[in-house]
């Protein structure tokens, strides 16, 4: 969640990337081992490529250059899913504020 480590990834994508990588948002960057770092890198690429493919996330008023809404919000796994069941394990998705940023996560799937 610390923008000084990886900048330019907003709350939506950060939550989704960390979920895919299985990393809790509150974990300090220096506590992520090499194997997890590789998984995080892969998750960043996967999530951002999927978001580009789906033309972004129309969470509120976002539109692409053609005026169309993006479609990534239809495949969100944790973002804005507080109180709903995790699609992977069935545990309730939680929301927390970390560094003045809202983040969403599964306390079982993310360590």
90-103 pLDDT tens trace: 999 999 999 888 99
Asked if residue 9 has pLDDT above 70, the reply is yes
SS3 102: strand
Check: pTM over 0.85? Answer yes or no: yes
**pLDDT of amino acid 66:** 79
- 85: DSSP letter: B
CATH number for 11-105 (one of 1.10.8.50, 3.60.21.10, 3.40.640.10, 3.40.50.1970): it is: 1.10.8.50
Q: Which residue has the tokens 């970390």?
A: 98
**pLDDT of amino acid 49:** 94
- Host H or E run for residue 95: strand 94-98
Q: What does the pLDDT look like over 21-74, one tens digit per residue?
A: 999 999 998 999 999 999 999 999 999 999 989 988 876 666 767 777 888 999
Signed CA dihedral, 60, 62, 67, 70: sign only: negative
């Amino acid at each position: 969640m610390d923008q000084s480590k990886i900048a330019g990834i907003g709350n939506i994508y950060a939550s989704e990337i960390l979920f895919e990588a299985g990393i809790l948002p509150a974990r300090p960057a220096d506590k992520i081992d090499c194997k997890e770092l590789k998984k995080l890198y892969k998750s960043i690429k996967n999530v951002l490529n999927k978001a580009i493919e789906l033309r972004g996330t129309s969470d509120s008023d976002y539109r692409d250059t053609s005026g169309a809404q993006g479609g990534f919000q239809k495949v969100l796994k944790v973002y804005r899913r507080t109180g709903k069941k995790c699609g992977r394990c069935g545990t309730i998705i939680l929301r927390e504020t970390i560094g003045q940023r809202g983040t969403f996560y599964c306390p079982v799937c993310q360590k």
